Amino acid sequence: MKSLLGENMENYKKINGGFQIILSKKLFERETIFSIAYKYNKKFFITFNPIGEDEISFVVKNKGEGMEPLPRDLENIMADFIDEQLRIDILRRTQSIRNQIYEKAFFPLRTINK
């Protein structure tokens, strides 16, 4: 397996018709995996399955007679995994602040309706 994330982090291998990416469940949440699968399922055939307790096999293959995924596609998919997970982490960390902003912004509307 080769790595897109560093020298000692083996996380993908070439398979017939595409690539298999090994994802850590400690780094990527279920929501992230489903989101990326949905994003790329129109272009590629996507499957994912658990490998033990800590990893997920995420397979990206050509769809029918379509073009086989290229290394550039794999780089884009991995970048999207990281972006999506960061988005989820930031949303979680800023949830209370957003709630306070919404509360203050919409407070006048609640007093009008009473």
CA dihedral sign of residues 44, 50, 51, 53: positive
95 in a domain, yes or no?
yes
pTM score, two decimals? 0.78
Q: Is residue 4 part of a domain?
A: no
pLDDT tens for each residue of 4-27: 544 444 589 999 999 999 999 999
* pLDDT tens-digit series, residues 26-41: 999 999 999 999 999 9
* pLDDT tens-digit readout, 49-90: 999 999 999 999 999 887 899 999 999 999 999 999 999 999
User: Does the pLDDT at position 110 exceed 80?
Assistant: no
Domain count, the chain: 1
Does residue 83 form part of some domain? yes
The H or E element containing residue 15 is strand 12-15
Whether residue 44 lies inside any domain: the answer is yes
Which range of residues forms the domain containing residue 57?
Answer: 12-112
Per the rule left: phi > 0, alpha: psi between -120 and 50, beta: everything else, 52 is left
**Is residue 5 assigned to a domain?**
no
> In whole angstroms, what is the distance from residue 83 CA to residue 106 CA?
30
